[in-house]
């Protein structure tokens, strides 16, 4: 079973995610500094999508 089976195609979260997938955000987020210590860095594309949708 997939979660997408229960969601409507017009759901705003799905619509926003599909729209953002069409934009290559990695070319805008390539200048992030390297992180060598501490926890694993978050995925910058997913974090940007979360902030923009919120």
- Per-residue burial over 14-48, b if 16 or more Cβ lie within 10 Å, else e, is eeeeeeeeeeeeeeeeeeeeeeeeeeeeeeebeee
Domain layout of the chain by residue ranges: 3-53
- Name the pTM for this structure: 0.66
Residue 39: per-residue pLDDT: 83
CB-based contact 48:32 (threshold 8 Å): no
pLDDT score recorded for residue 41:
81
Q: Report pLDDT for 13.
A: 84
Q: What is the pLDDT of residues 1-54, one digit of tens each?
A: 777 677 777 888 888 888 888 988 888 888 888 777 878 888 888 888 889 888
């Amino acid at each position: 079973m997939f979660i997408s089976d229960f969601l409507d195609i017009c759901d705003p979260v799905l619509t926003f995610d599909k729209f953002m997938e069409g934009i290559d955000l990695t070319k805008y987020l390539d200048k992030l500094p390297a992180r060598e210590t501490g926890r694993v860095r978050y995925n910058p594309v997913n974090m940007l999508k979360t902030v923009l949708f919120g």
